[in-house]
């Protein structure tokens, strides 16, 4: 690692046994000791949005294996793209393969490997943008694949010419498997995407903290604090087992356990707001 690190957490998510947060940076805390850890470290090297990770002796075979692992399948038709973009401060992006057209959730870097991977899987029909901060190279992917960009009106200035503008705070059901859920708070136009009542793509609205083993949400860079709490509470109306965040760790939990964690987060935030 070097001083170009923006401490976006990408490497710590992909290779938690090799990288830690040290001061204002993510840094190598211990060298990989086996093949799996080495593979994860190479994945982190490729996903790093600013190229801060290096090797003394690069193994081309292992690098190629890490490259071809992206998009990284998480479960079923859902994958993590990798190749995080510095334009979104290293935010995660995700890909859904769907028989009626594939979906990109937020945007990775616009690179040849991902373009070819998406082409092999049938292209991209929709690009769902959770909020204005994580747009990155969405315009380039939209132009290449003829995809519709989806963003909330309150954040639409970040995507001039977006094909689908969402208004208001009511949930929109699209087909039988997708729900657009406006969750203003971090930004005025933040949205979550619920897929199959199982996968919740949250942008910067909600994530998993592996240190406290709990769900968490922004405490700074917040548009409206009480609106954010209301938006978290809104998610109690939905069923989901995955939280797939733009910033922060992803997690899969049983439905009941996820609900308990969500309720605990709401209670912490309400108590914290009342005590100030």
| 209 and 257 co-located in one domain | yes
pLDDT band at 228 (very low <50, low <70, confident <90, very high): very high
Count of structural domains, the chain: 2
Nearest to 242 by CA among 71, 8, 74, 14: 74
What is the tens place of the pLDDT at every residue in 143-175? 999 999 999 999 999 999 999 999 999 999 999
Question: For position 5, which CATH number holds?
Answer: 3.30.70.20
| 62 and 168 co-located in one domain | no
Q: Which of 69, 89, 116 finishes a domain?
A: 69
Q: Looking only at Cα atoms, what is the longest distance across the chain?
A: 55
Q: Which of 18, 52, 69 finishes a domain?
A: 69
What is the tens place of the pLDDT at every residue in 185-221? 999 999 999 999 999 999 999 999 999 999 999 998 8
| 34 and 83 co-located in one domain | no
1: pLDDT strictly greater than 60:
no
Look-up of token digits 């001039």? 160
Residue 146 burial class via C-beta count within 10 angstroms: exposed 0-12, middle 13-18, buried 19 and up: exposed
Full domain range(s) for residue 111? 70-275
Distances (CA, A) of 62 to 58, 98, 111: 8, 30, 19
| 254 and 145 co-located in one domain | yes
Question: For position 216, which CATH number holds?
Answer: 3.60.15.10
| 88 and 218 co-located in one domain | yes
| 63 and 80 co-located in one domain | no
| 10 and 123 co-located in one domain | no
pLDDT band at 58 (very low <50, low <70, confident <90, very high): confident
What is the tens place of the pLDDT at every residue in 77-131? 999 999 999 999 999 999 999 999 999 999 999 999 999 999 999 999 999 999 9
- Cα–Cα dist 121/110, whole Å: 16
251: pLDDT strictly greater than 70:
yes
Q: Which of 41, 69, 97 finishes a domain?
A: 69
| 65 and 119 co-located in one domain | no
| 160 and 48 co-located in one domain | no
Q: Are 4 and 10 in contact (CB under 8 A)?
A: no
| 159 and 29 co-located in one domain | no
Strands (E), 115-247: 126-128, 148-152, 164-166, 172-174, 178-182, 191-195, 199-203, 207-209, 214-216, 242-245
- Cα–Cα dist 222/80, whole Å: 26
């Amino acid at each position: 690692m070097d001083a170009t690190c923006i401490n976006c957490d990408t490497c710590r998510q992909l290779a938690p046994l090799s990288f830690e947060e040290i001061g204002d940076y993510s840094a190598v805390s211990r060298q990989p000791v086996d093949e799996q850890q080495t593979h994860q470290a190479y994945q982190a090297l490729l996903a790093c949005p600013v190229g801060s990770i290096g090797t003394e002796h690069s193994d081309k075979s292992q690098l190629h294996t890490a490259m071809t692992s992206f998009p990284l399948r998480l479960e079923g038709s859902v994958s993590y793209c990798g190749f995080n973009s510095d334009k979104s401060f290293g935010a995660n992006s995700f890909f859904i393969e769907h028989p009626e057209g594939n979906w990109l959730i937020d945007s990775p870097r616009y690179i040849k490997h991902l373009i070819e991977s998406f082409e092999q899987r049938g292209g991209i029909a929709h690009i769902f943008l959770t909020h204005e901060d994580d747009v990155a190279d969405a315009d380039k992917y939209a132009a290449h694949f003829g995809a519709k960009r989806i963003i909330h009106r309150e954040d639409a200035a970040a995507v001039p010419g977006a094909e689908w503008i969402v208004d208001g705070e009511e949930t929109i059901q699209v087909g039988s498997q997708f729900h657009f859920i406006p969750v203003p708070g971090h930004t005025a136009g933040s949205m979550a995407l619920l897929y199959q009542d199982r996968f919740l793509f949250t942008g910067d609205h909600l994530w998993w903290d592996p240190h406290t083993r709990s769900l968490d949400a922004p405490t700074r860079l917040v548009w409206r604090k009480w609106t954010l709490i209301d938006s978290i509470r809104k998610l109690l109306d939905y069923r989901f087992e995955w939280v797939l965040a733009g910033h922060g760790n992803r997690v899969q939990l049983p439905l009941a356990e996820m609900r308990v964690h969500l309720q605990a987060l709401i209670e912490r935030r309400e108590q914290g707001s009342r005590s100030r």
